[in-house]
Amino acid sequence: MGMLSSRLAHFELPPQWSTMREAAQLEQKTGRRIIHMEKGDYASPEFKPPGEALEAVRTSLEKGYVRYSPGPGLWSLREALAEEMSLRGRPTVPEEIIVTPGAKFAIAATLLLFLDDGDEVIMPDPGYPPDEFWARYQRATIRHVTFRDPRNVDTSQLARLITPRTRLVILNTPQRPNGQLVENTDEIAEVLAKFPHVTVVSDEIFSKIVYPPYQHRSLANHPELRGRTVVIDTFSKSHVMTGFRIGWVTAPVHLAEKYDILVQNSCTNVSTIIQEAALAALKAPETFHRNLMKNLKRKRDLAWKVVSGSKHLSGDNAQGTFYLYLKLPDGFDDRETAHHLLKNGVAVVPGSAFGPSGAGHLRLTFTLEDEILLEGVERLVEAVDKLVG
Ligand SMILES: Cc1ncc(COP(=O)(O)O)c(C=O)c1O
């Protein structure tokens, strides 16, 4: 490692990004058109941030909001987010909100704040790779909790995994990569209530991307956990603002104050202009969200209709998020299959990029223009069916 910190020993590009780079390189080298279903982003130009947010960027510049602003966030935005969290069932005051440059920063901050060398952290498998990245940076021991089925955390395993060294339990719902909602939140809360030394991290970045009749449930709404649950959320997915880089943490005041110190000493504050945009986005009319969900649902069903017709792929239609998560037949390697698909002009993410139990799965994003999405899933099904034979 030469002169670099030994903490960097594990640093490598997440496998999901490697797929993106491989796809981009192949496209550049061969000039071949690739249908990109590997990115965790909105792809079709029909998805735009609320007009109110764009207008707020313009007026903020005109008003000269180009200086530092308070680290934990503009008070008006913290107030609005506290109201939003209260409406979702977690009574919240503005002091409990810390605005961050995206949910990913909030995750990094959480793991930096809570973990020491040798501490233990429990996270889902499959899960979100940055959780693991920062846990390793902190030299913590990672324990994976698995699922009884795609929607129910194995709570007896969870209870067994918790030791006196366990500092954090991280869960995400609606889940990524598999697009399912965690159903047994009551059961999970009952287990966690028995371990008051554990802080719960509830990553809810897709909380607004849920298809009826399914309903998002938060662990933070359980009164016995509220005092030690950190909720992580973002404007990226709910308001089509991935490139704005703004999210937030909701945590009891004594913890929020620590996030405040970390933000102040790292990025100082999220760009004031972007905070104004986020505040305006929260005030967008209900039609914004209705249209977003209408378009996402149409694309989800369009993609699902094609993939569920495959002889060899299986899985569940997404209950939330904008991903489909598909199981390959037994014995088929997800990385090799993703590579094969790339050669057939379709980029997806091999499931093992999200943890050991993702092996044998593929994840695809369905936010593309309808015709391109259709072409992409048709190519995918054809290539897999031919490969399996
Ligand atoms: C589970 C999960 N958490 C956090 C993030 C990061 O979101 P943000 O864009 O706000 O950094 C993502 C992004 O896809 C995610 O899937």
Helix (H, G, I), strand (E, B) or coil at 341: helix
Helical packing angle, 286-307 and 370-388, nearest 10°: 30
Cα–Cα distance measured from residue 199 to residue 195, given in angstroms and rounded to the nearest whole number: 9
pTM, rounded to two decimals:
0.95
Ligand 1 near 203 CB (within 6 A): yes
- Which domains are assigned to the chain? 6-48+287-388 (3.90.1150.10), 51-282 (3.40.640.10)
Per-residue pLDDT of the chain (389 residues; tens, 9 = 90+): 568 899 988 788 777 777 778 888 888 888 889 999 999 999 999 999 999 999 999 999 999 999 999 999 999 999 999 999 999 999 999 999 999 999 999 999 999 999 999 999 999 999 999 999 999 999 999 999 999 999 999 999 999 999 999 999 999 999 999 999 999 999 999 999 999 999 999 999 999 999 999 999 999 999 999 999 999 999 999 999 999 999 999 999 999 999 999 999 999 999 999 999 999 999 999 999 999 999 999 999 999 999 999 999 999 999 999 999 999 999 999 999 999 999 999 999 999 999 999 999 999 999 999 999 999 999 999 999 999 88
Cα–Cα distance measured from residue 388 to residue 75, given in angstroms and rounded to the nearest whole number: 57
Nearest to 278 by CA among 83, 81, 29: 81
- Residue 258 is classified by DSSP as H
Residue to substitute in 105, 107, 178, 205 for testing ligand 1 pocket (most ligand atoms within 8 angstroms of CB): 205
Q: What separation in Å is there between the alpha carbon of 106 and the centre of ligand 1?
A: 9
Q: What separation in Å is there between the alpha carbon of 379 and the centre of ligand 1?
A: 28
Cβ pair 312, 388 in contact under 8 A:
yes
Residues 6+ away with beta carbon under 8 Å from 12: none
Helix (H, G, I), strand (E, B) or coil at 145: strand
Q: Report whether the peptide linkage leading into residue 177 is cis, meaning its omega lies within 30 degrees of zero.
A: yes
Residues 6+ away with beta carbon under 8 Å from 60: 272, 273, 276, 277
Q: What separation in Å is there between the alpha carbon of 176 and the centre of ligand 1?
A: 9
Ligand 1 near 179 CB (within 6 A): no
Token reading at 256 = 């929020």
Nearest to 358 by CA among 371, 349, 345, 366: 349
